[in-house]
Amino acid sequence: MARRLPNFSALRAFEAAARHENFSRAAEELHLTHGAISHQVRALEEELGRPLFVRHGRQVKITNDGLKFAQFLGKAFADIAAATDAMRAASINQRLTISSIPSFAARWLAPRLGRFIELHPDIEVVLQSSGQLQDLARDGIDVGIRFGRGHYPGMVVLRLMGDVYYPVVSPHYRDGQLPVVPQDLTRHTLLRSVERWTPWLHAAGVDLPEPSGGLLFEDLSMLIRSAADGNGVALVRHVIAMQEIRSGQLLRLFNIETPSPDEYYFVSPPGAASKPQVLAFRSWLLEEIETFQRQLA
């Protein structure tokens, strides 16, 4: 048979009033009115069948029975607070903080993260977009997605995948008068970014110097946006440009690609690498990459 407990709000009101031995201060603590505290305490006294305070106008003095009861309640509330703190700490421990290079975060990872959250609703995911090689452990970051050569001293490092470069263009660029062969690029606008054209131009046998002057895009998402707007031909990384290619906003030119010397890496501080949420994310991410690469085959 379930125990019938007094109203919890009444117990809180009484415990605060007993601790302060003052209804007004109890009301301030609980953000209630003096009258509400008085009403809750009277209701509790009626339920218990005995007085808990002796009243002299607005002054109150706790009875011996009331004092004993208040001490029990104080301990019970302290236990509840401790259990709540433990639950909150456990919740914080289930937080997963990811720092990713902006292009990968926005164009590949973020559109897929919903699937991870559905599988692990107990994990709070914080995705930070950063191209800086910050100190992951110092900044409280569990996972860094980096694009580089894999040299991250003191970190737990796992290679995720490589990438390739090729040119793309909007189907509406120059009213559809698009380059047909690589040599045609000598007569077209080559959009510039932090990724150099020269290795691809050499692989394609095109005798052109590295484009110079004009606008230089440091953010590859902005480069892709400019190409989709018809401003010129862009050299892009395959992983980053797939959305626009699939939607038809961009067309891949020619059948020549060059491998990127940099690759994508999963980087984690040793103190975070074995966290359950990090292991779960790593496993999910590898499966997503495997599916992504299988779709391209």
Check whether residue 155 and residue 274 sit in a common domain: yes
* Strand partners of residue 178: none
Confirm whether 197 is domain-assigned: yes
Backbone angles phi, psi at 90, to 5 degrees: -65, -40
* Strand partners of residue 57: none
CATH number of the domain bearing residue 283: 3.40.190.10
d(CA 187, CA 156): 47
Check whether residue 140 and residue 279 sit in a common domain: yes
Confirm whether 3 is domain-assigned: no
Confirm whether 1 is domain-assigned: no
Check whether residue 107 and residue 247 sit in a common domain: no
Query: Which of 30, 60, 90 represents a domain boundary (last residue)?
Result: 90
* Residue pair 44/52 in contact by the 8 Å Cβ criterion: yes
Confirm whether 2 is domain-assigned: no
The reply to whether the predicted model has a pTM over 0.75 is no
Query: Which of 31, 58, 90 represents a domain boundary (last residue)?
Result: 90
Half-sphere exposure of 191 (CA within 13 A, CB side): 27
Q: Helices 110-119 and 276-296 meet at what angle, rounded to 10?
A: 130
Residue 44: domain span: 8-90
Mind listing the pLDDT tens digit of every residue in the chain (297 residues)? 456 788 889 899 999 988 988 998 998 989 999 899 999 999 999 989 999 999 887 788 999 998 999 899 988 888 888 777 777 665 555 899 999 988 899 889 999 999 999 999 999 999 998 766 567 878 889 999 999 999 999 999 999 999 999 999 999 999 999 999 999 999 999 999 999 999 999 999 999 999 998 889 988 889 999 999 999 999 999 999 988 999 999 999 999 999 999 999 999 999 899 999 999 999 999 999 999 988 776
95-100 vs 143-148, strand pairing mode: parallel
What is the structure's pLDDT at 123?
93
* Number of domains, the chain: 3
Check whether residue 218 and residue 229 sit in a common domain: yes
Check whether residue 34 and residue 148 sit in a common domain: no
